[in-house]
Amino acid sequence: MEWILLYIGELVELTIEMAPYLMLGFLFAGMLYAWFPDQKMVKYLGKSNTASAVNAALLGVPLPLCSCGVIPTGVSFYRNGASKGSSVSFLISTPQTGVDSIMVTGSLLGWPLAIIRPFVAFVTGVLGGILTNISENRANKANPPEKTIPVETVKKKVSIQGMLQYAFVDFLQDIVKWLTIGLLIAALMAVIIPEDFFLIYLSNDYLSMLIILLASIPLYVCATGSVPIAAVLMMKGLSPGAALVFLMAGPATNAATISVIGNTMGRKTLFIYLFSIIAGALFFGILVNELLPRNLFMSAIHNIHSGQHNHQILPRWLQVGSAIVLTGLMINGLLRIYLPFLFKKKTPLTVTHINNTMNIKTILVEGMTCNHCKMNVENNLKKMNGVTDVKIDLASGHVSLEGENINLGDTEKTINDLGYKYKGVV
C-alpha cells in the first residue's frame, strides 16, 4: 500500500509541475494551426538548397507534432512539391521539440535545457536536409528526375472556437496516449529506481549515453512525454548530456518512422535521417557534459524531487488548477480514442436528391492514428481528379469518397505514397 501511495504522489507532483506550461503549449499549437499560411509552405520548401532546409527546420521546431503526425505531414510535403532535403529537415526537427515540449522542459528540467533542445533540433534538421540535398543532387546528375508540379494549397479559415477545439481536443487527442504513458512511466521509475542508480551502476557518462541512445532509437515517446522520464532519470544520476540524447533521439526515431521513411524516400535517405539525429544528439550531449556545469540543470530537478515549490515562478494555485483542467482534458481525449461511440452525433434521417452522375465509394485505410493523419489523407484525396468530397471515420479507418469517375488505382497509390495502407473497398 505504501508503494501505491508513493507512486500516486509522484504522479500527481509531476502532473502539477508540467500542467501550466503544457496548457500554454496547447494554446500556441492552436494558434499555429489556425493562422499559419499553408499556401506559402511549399513555396519555401521546394528547392534543393540550404535555404529550403533552413526554412523547413525553422517551420518544424515550433510545431507541436510528434512522430505519428509529422511522418504523414512530411511525406505529404514531399509528394506535393517540397524537395527531399527540406522534407528530411522537417521530419528531423519537428518531432524532437515543439512549443508544448519546450514549455514542459523549462518547468521540469530548467530553462537552459529548454533553450538548448530546440537549437539542437534546428541544427540536426538542417544537417540532415543539406546531406540529403547533396546526395540527391549527385543522383540527379546521373538520372534527371521528371519535374512535378506542386499542388496549390488552400488557406485555412479557422475561428477562435475552431482554434480552441484543435488545441485542447483534436491535438491533445493526438498525443494524450503517449503523454499519459510518459507520465505513468516517469512516476514508476521514480519509485522503483534506486537513488543514484546511474552513479552506482553506470558511472561512465558516455557509456550511459550510448545505452540511452540504443534504447531510444526503436522506441516511441513523444517530445512532451519524454520530459518527465528524462527528469526522473536525471534524479537518479543520469548526466544532462545523456538526458539530452534521450530527449532528441527518443521522439525523433521509432520503428514505425524508420519503416515509413525507408519505404517512401529510400534507404539512402533513411541512413542520412538516422545519422543526423544520432550524430547530433551525441555531439551536443558531449558538449553539454563537457562545457556546462551540471548544477545548471539540476536545480529545477531537485526542486521537483524535494517538493520545494516556494521558489517556483508560478503560484501553487495556478499549477494545481491547471493540473485539474489538464487531467479532465486528458480523460476526454482518452475517451475519444477508446470509446468513440460516446461522441457520435445522431443525425436525423433526411430525404436527399441523388445525382446519378455522382458516386460514393467507401474504402478501408490502415495506419491513420491521429487527426493530422486524417487531415493529410483528406487533403491529398481531395486533390485527385473527380473527387469532390472526402469524409473519414478515424476510429474505423473508413474513408468515403464522393465524386465522378473516381479512380481507385490512383486512390490506392496516393494513400500508399503517404505511408498508409490501402485495404480495398468496404
**pLDDT of 110-121, one tens digit each?**
888 899 999 999
Domain membership of residue 324 (yes or no) is yes
Range of the domain at 98: 2-329
Q: Evaluate if residue 308 carries a pLDDT over 70.
A: no
Q: Domain check: are 285 and 411 in the same one?
A: no
At residue 154, the pLDDT reads 46
Cell of 224: 512532451
| C-alpha cell at position 10 | 509522484
pLDDT given for residue 80 in this prediction:
64
The closest of 92, 168, 173 to 374, measured between CA atoms, is 173
Q: Please say if the pLDDT value at position 91 is more than 50.
A: yes
160 and 44 in one domain? yes
Query: Do the domain assignments include residue 182?
Result: yes
Which tens digit of pLDDT belongs to each residue from 388-415?
Answer: 889 888 878 889 999 888 888 888 888 8
Are both 380 and 309 inside the same structural domain? no
The pLDDT assigned to 201 comes to 67
Which one has a higher pLDDT value, 152 or 317?
Answer: 317
Instruction: State how far the Cα of 91 lies from the Cα of 75, in Å rounded to an integer.
Output: 9
Which residue, 329, 344, 377, sits at the end of a domain? 329
Q: Tell me the residue type at 200.
A: I
CA distance 322 to 328: 10
How distant is the alpha carbon of residue 136 from its chain centre? 26
Q: Is the dihedral of CA 36, 39, 42, 43 positive or negative?
A: negative
313 and 411, same domain (yes or no): no
Indicate whether 153 and 31 sit together in one domain: yes
Q: How far apart are CA 107 and CA 227, in angstroms?
A: 10
Cell of 229: 522520464
What pLDDT is recorded for position 195? 61
| Domain termination residue (choose one: 274, 309, 329) | 329
* Range 39-65 average pLDDT: 80
Q: Which cell is 17 given?
A: 509541475
Q: What is the model's pLDDT at position 153?
A: 45
Question: Which of 270 and 175 is assigned the larger pLDDT?
Answer: 270
Of the chain, the percentage scoring pLDDT greater than 70 comes to 80
Domain limit, last residue, from 289, 307, 329: 329
pLDDT at 10 over 80: yes
How far, in Å, CA of 340 to CA of 397, rounded?
13
* Claim to verify: residue 319 and residue 379 sit in the same structural domain: no
The C-alpha atoms of residue 282 and residue 212 are separated, in whole angstroms, by 11
**Domain-located, residue 354:** no
Q: Do residue 59 and residue 207 come from a single domain?
A: yes
- Work out the pLDDT band at 77, boundaries 50, 70, 90: confident
Predicted local confidence at residue 40, as pLDDT: 61
pLDDT over threshold 90, residue 283: yes
How many structural domains comprise the chain?
2
The pLDDT mean for the chain works out to 80
Given a cut of 60, is residue 305 above it in pLDDT? no
